[in-house]
Structure 1
């Protein structure tokens, strides 16, 4: 199946927000993501519920990791395209996330990045000049149409 044809030029619907280090940051990030995905992109089709749930999972894991491993603000950027969503989270830590062996012993931490890689079509990390990094993950739903 191919992506829907769109009239050029087409631009994604985007949300960029700085998230302060507060106790409810994950709930705020999830609420913003759910509200954002209720918007209709240029093709007029809302994101399927499975994608909304996967997006909430990605946002939760990526923001949680940013809060856990980097001081200060983190930035959430959502970019909605026809049949795909790009989730980006920036933080101030120059240390790149690394997949470590999954620890299923019940301790907190250690499996979030595995979840992100399992759910997303792709994941990559980009160093930000000066300081910090951006973790990008893409969900697509062309196969759900």
Structure 2
């Protein structure tokens, strides 16, 4: 599921380039990493299905991952010796904004990143 989500996001950004949106290659890579991290968190920490939604408007890519867990993600304190569990730290570092919204079925984690 994680590889499929990343592939879906890559194809989405490729279509944007074909339509004339000047997606910066490094930002494309950052966006794919954010998708991978958010979907990985949903798969690992939620008991049910998850979904990915993407929107690109004036260079701002909005990434929304919904899952069935009510628990909002919490970035851990920086610890360079910790192995793993740095995903949300990476997402926060790469994105312009990251929010979590509770829903009746769980939550939606929304990240925004400029890709142009």
Fold equivalence (TM over 0.5): yes
1:121 matched to which residue of 2?
A: 96
Where does the alignment leave 5 or more consecutive residues of structure 2 unmatched? none
**Deviation of the 1:107 alpha carbon:** 2.8
- Where do residues 131-142 of structure 1 align in structure 2 (5 Å cutoff)? 131-141=105-115
- The number of residue pairs the alignment matches comes to 115
Q: Which runs of 5+ in 1 are unaligned?
A: 1-24
**TM-score after normalising by structure 1:** 0.73
Runs of 4+ that moved beyond 6 A: none
Larger radius of gyration: 1
By how many angstroms is 1:103 displaced?
3.8
RMSD: 1.7
Q: 1:51 aligns with which of 27, 30, 38?
A: 27
Q: Which residue matches 1:18?
A: none
Who is 2:68 aligned against? 92
TM-score w.r.t. the length of structure 2 is 0.89
Residue 32, structure 1, aligned to residue 8, structure 2: yes
CA–CA distance in structure 2, aligned partners of residues 117 and 106 of structure 1? 17
Q: Secondary structure at the match of 1:40?
A: helix
Q: Is 2:50–2:68's contact at 8 Å kept on the other side of the alignment?
A: yes
Which structure has more helix as a fraction of its residues? 2
How far off its partner does 1:106 sit? 4.9
2:71 and 2:11 map into 1 onto residues whose CA distance is 31
